Amino acid sequence: MIHELNKLFPSGTRLPLVDTIRDTLKVIDIKGLKEINKCIIKKAVENKVFENGTIDGYTVVAIDGRKFFGNNKKSCHECLKNKDHCFHSGAVMSIVGDGQKLVIDVENYRVGQDSI
C-alpha cells in the first residue's frame, strides 16, 4: 500500500503511518464518501467530460478485484483472513481508455458472504 501512496504525493513528503490510516478508516463515513463520489460523477457528466473519450457514445469501465490493505498483527471485525494474514479486499469499477479516469464505485468483500 505504501508504494501506491508514494504515487499520490510529491517526492519527500512524509507519508502517514499504516496505523493512522487504519484508525481513520475505522471511523470514516463511507456513505458520505459515496455521496461525494456520486456528486463528482454527476458534475463530470454535466460538464461533458466523457464525450470525447467514448466508443460510439458509450463510456467503457472495468471492474476488478483488489486487495486494499492487510496486516499480519492487527485486524478488525470486517477483516478477511487467510491463515495468519488479515486484509480488506473488494471490487472497484473505474473508467478506462483515453480521457478522464474516474472511480465509479467500490464495494468491499464481506466476511462470511463473499468468497475471494
pTM of the model: 0.54
From CA 109, how far away is CA 89, in angstroms rounded?
A: 6
- State residue 114's pLDDT score: 61
- State residue 60's pLDDT score: 80
Identity of the residue numbered 76: C
- State residue 37's pLDDT score: 81
Q: pLDDT tens digits, residue range 30-82?
A: 788 888 888 888 888 788 776 766 666 677 888 888 777 777 777 777 788 77
Domain boundaries, the chain: 2-108
Which residues are registered as beta bridge partners of 64?
92
Beta strands in 1-116 (DSSP E): 61-71, 80-82, 85-95, 103-108
Q: pLDDT tens digits, residue range 100-113?
A: 778 888 888 877 66
Spatial CB neighbours of 18, under 8 Å, sequence gap ≥ 6: 1, 2, 69, 71
Residue 1 pLDDT greater than 70, yes or no: no
